[in-house]
Amino acid sequence: MMEDVFKIKNEEDRVSALYDIFDESTRLSTKATQIEFLTTIRQIEKHLKPGMKILDLGAGTGEYSLYFARNGFEVTAIELVEKHVMQIKEKINSEMSLQLFKGNAIDISMIEDKSYDIVLCFRPLYHLVKIEDRMKCIEEVKRVCKDNGKMFFAFISNDMVILTETMCYNSGFLNGDTYNHENFKLVDFPFVFHTVEDCRKLLRDSNLVINSEVAADGLSELLADKINNMDDESYRLWLNYHYYCCEKPEFLGASNHLLFITEKSTLD
């Protein structure tokens, strides 16, 4: 039962049990779910230069790590869940420079200070239940990133989840008790949810400078059935429209996944 998973105190056991319910290896396999991946890759590539080193924290089943390793970059992937580590391992080939560690994003002491140009922190922030641990994770990201490097963080939008839950999965959602009826804050289960302002506060409290804020998947989950039925040309045009919208501030909150691109403050 999903509720039992949340009672598990040990971080690794809880996250592992969650991914026994959610199959991460197929999450990005439809036209609709691919939008988040393609948008994120496009944003990373704006900052990527040949020879740069990439660290992927919370690498899942390796979609981002493998993509960049296949494209000739030196990549390090760190992942908490053993099953996911094994799934990445199976896909690494001898032509890739991909180092893989099983580890927790709040302590990556195996990684040297200031050693990566690009640090991806996609998801640990919405698994780490305690705010102190989310801050610790961001401190680790800052520590291992070069002074002129870029740090990418992903969040799940509190406000958009209410919309998609109600419209796609449970029409009685708004009658339920999984959110505060006054301020619309969701109960942080099975993930930790952030409003756009929560994301900004967390990153700024960690003394990071926000360069860009991106609606990573926009309305894709809400419109999944329509998007999945598009022919390839319609999908290409839809994607192009999404790319046009995704950096507009007025679209930001209306996206299930939020991507923040940051750099170190010169005052740090």
174 vs 190: CA distance, rounded Å: 17
Exactly one of 54, 105, 203, 239 binds ligand SAM (CB under 6 A); that residue is 105
Between 112 and 141, how does the x/- string for binding to ligand SAM read (CB under 6 A)? ----------xxx--xx-------------
| DSSP at 188 | -
63 vs 115: CA distance, rounded Å: 22
Q: Kindly state the smallest distance separating residue 171's Cβ from ligand SAM, in Å.
A: 26
DSSP of 124-168: HHHH--SHHHHHHHHHHHHHHEEEEEEEEEEEEBHHHHHHHIIII
Of 67-86, binders to ligand SAM (CB under 6 A) are: 78-81, 84
Angle in degrees, 0-180, between the axes of helices 232-245 and 31-45, rounded to the nearest 10: 50
> By CB under 6 A, how many residues form the interface with ligand SAM?
22
203 vs 210: CA distance, rounded Å: 8
Regarding 217 and contact with ligand SAM (CB under 6 A), the answer is no
From the list 53-61, 175-183, 219-227, 232-240, the region that binds ligand SAM by CB under 6 A is 53-61
Residue 184: how many CB atoms within 10 A of its CB?
12
Question: Minimal CB distance to ligand SAM: which residue?
Answer: 60
Give yes or no for a contact between 139 and 177, defined as CB atoms under 8 angstroms apart.
Answer: no
Exactly one of 5, 17, 24, 140 binds ligand SAM (CB under 6 A); that residue is 24
Q: Kindly state the smallest distance separating residue 103's Cβ from ligand SAM, in Å.
A: 6
Which backbone phi and psi does 154 adopt, to 5 degrees? Answer: -115, 145
Please identify, using beta-carbon distances, which residue of 59 and 224 lies nearer to ligand SAM: 59
Please identify, using beta-carbon distances, which residue of 4 and 231 lies nearer to ligand SAM: 4
Q: Kindly state the smallest distance separating residue 80's Cβ from ligand SAM, in Å.
A: 4
Give yes or no for a contact between 157 and 253, defined as CB atoms under 8 angstroms apart.
Answer: yes
Of 151-170, binders to ligand SAM (CB under 6 A) are: none
DSSP of 211-245: EEEEESSTTTTTTHHHHHT--HHHHHHHHHHHHHH
Q: Kindly state the smallest distance separating residue 183's Cβ from ligand SAM, in Å.
A: 26
Polymer length of the chain: 268
Regarding 58 and contact with ligand SAM (CB under 6 A), the answer is yes
Which backbone phi and psi does 23 adopt, to 5 degrees? Answer: -90, 100
Of 167-206, binders to ligand SAM (CB under 6 A) are: none
Please identify, using beta-carbon distances, which residue of 41 and 245 lies nearer to ligand SAM: 41
Q: Kindly state the smallest distance separating residue 54's Cβ from ligand SAM, in Å.
A: 12
Note the residues at the interface with ligand SAM (CB under 6 A): 11, 15, 19, 24, 58-60, 63-64, 78-81, 84, 104-106, 122-124, 127-128
